[in-house]
Amino acid sequence: MRVGVLTGGGDCPGLNAVIRAAVRKGVQDYGYSFTGFRDGWRGPLAGDIVPLDIPAVRGILPRGGTILGSSRTNPLKAENGIRRIKENLTKYEVDALIAIGGEDTLGVAARLSDEYGVPCVGVPKTIDNDLSATDYTFGFDTAVNIATEAIDRLHTTAESHMRVLVVEVMGRHAGWIALHSGLAGGANVILIPEQRFDVQQVCGWVESRFKVRYAPIVVVAEGATPKGGEMVLKDGSLDSFGHVRLSGVGEWLAKEIERRTGKEARTTVLGHVQRGGTPSAFDRWLATRFGLHAIEAVRDEAYGVMVSLRGTDVVRVPLADATAKLKTVDPKLYAEAGVFFG
Ligand code: F6P
């Protein structure tokens, strides 16, 4: 048995831990061989492979990024994409494929598996934690820790200058990073994509914070949208899955706050810092378990499934379910945080 492995979409701390665990268990327990595909779906599409064995995965557990490289290549849009993937899997004698990715990468795996008979097992990843078929995705905990540390640091500089500091975090459709890091970091305003925000109300919270002689920290998810306005975009460009590139709401909001309150407001955009560097202990643990369970699914020939965390158990769910529904922040959860606003 030869197993192909690829990592697609935005990188995420913990990807290497999945690869390591799958290879270690596959080689040691089942005598499998492995082939790595470079840069997500571009690898099987172009036949770009990399050797993958136990020496190749030594020492990678704490390393961020992915030793296989990643891309947002969409093979369903490439000319003869499916045929080329099938030919390359045959050429390199790959019997099963483990696809590690988010909504887009797993969406392709689901179609390849269900419609075209390619034996795929999915492993969910995204720092956004917005896949409903799993309780948590690895990468999220690391991103929240990084954002929380940034908020802690911004509190002291905001107070020294009595400025408003706006922190823009990732979160395209879901405000999980904003909500968790905002609560953990003691933010005075948290804005998420799920609920449009009222700029005047934000300014009210900012002013009430100044009244008690503290400087406000506003955490805003990149996908958060003002009431009566549009999502703020850097430029109009799209990736190959058709997603518009975000970031910009933090800058926009700081300007609005300054204009309406007369208080100095600055923005910190955390951007890819949230996705880089070493994974947290939780993410290493989760990613390692996902890797172990993915190889067990291959052994059981349970294709068309994704491994998923339910409570403390790792279970299998249909790949099609993995991408069917986005996991967004429940309004009740968001309302809980409201006691700290202002
Ligand atoms: O999906 C994960 C994510 O980190 C989003 O939060 C963000 O909008 C996007 O990736 C950014 O992707 P890229 O690095 O390709 O611009």
Is 36 in the same domain as 94?
A: yes
Enumerate the H helices of 122-232 as residue ranges: 140-161, 176-185, 199-211
Q: Is 98 annotated as a binding residue?
A: no
Residue 192 in any domain: the answer is: yes
Rg over CA atoms, the chain: 21
Q: Is residue 340 part of a domain?
A: no
Please tell me the distance from the alpha carbon of residue 221 to that of residue 225, in angstroms, as a whole number. Answer: 9
In a domain, 114, yes or no: yes
Q: Which atom of ligand 1 is nearest to the CA of 239?
A: 15
For residues 286 and 267, state if they share a domain.
no
Q: CATH no. for residue 180?
A: 3.40.50.460
The reply to whether 128 belongs to the active site is yes
pLDDT of residue 213: 84
Q: Of the residues 66, 127, 235, 269, which should be mutated to test ligand 1's pocket, given the most ligand atoms within 8 Å of the CB? A: 127
Q: Which of 240, 275, 310 is the last residue of a domain?
A: 275
The answer to whether position 93 is within a domain reads yes
pLDDT tens-place string over residues 158-183: 999 999 999 999 999 999 999 999 99
CATH code at position 38: 3.40.50.450
Residue minimizing CA distance to atom 14 of ligand 1: 10
The number of domains in the chain is: 2
Closest residue by Cα to atom 16, ligand 1, is 245
Q: Contact 150/107 with Cβ under 8 angstroms?
A: no
Binned at pLDDT 50, 70 and 90, residue 293 comes out as very high
Residues near 115 by Cβ (< 8 Å), separated by ≥ 6?
A: none
Residues 16, 135: Cα–Cα separation, whole Å: 21
Averaged pLDDT of the chain: 95
- If asked whether residues 285 and 298 sit together in one domain, one would say yes
What token pair was written down for 38?
């470079």
Please check if 273 is assigned to a binding site.
yes
**pLDDT, tens digit, for every residue of 49-99?**
999 999 999 999 999 999 999 999 999 999 999 999 999 999 999 999 999
99 φ/ψ sector (left φ>0, alpha ψ -120 to 50, else beta): beta
Give yes or no: residues 260 and 288 share one domain. no
d(CA 106, ligand 1 centre) in Å: 16
Q: How far is the CA of 193 from the centre of ligand 1 (A)?
A: 14
- The answer to whether 193 touches 225, Cβ cutoff 8 Å, is yes
Tell me which H or E stretch contains 164: strand 164-169
**Judgement on whether residues 268 and 313 belong to the same structural domain of the protein:** no
pLDDT digits (tens, 9 = 90+) for 112-163: 999 999 999 999 999 999 998 999 999 999 999 999 999 999 999 999 999 9
Q: Among the options 128, 130, 141, 283, which is catalytic?
A: 128
Its domain, for residue 84, covers 2-138+279-322
**Same-domain pairing of 107 and 193:** no
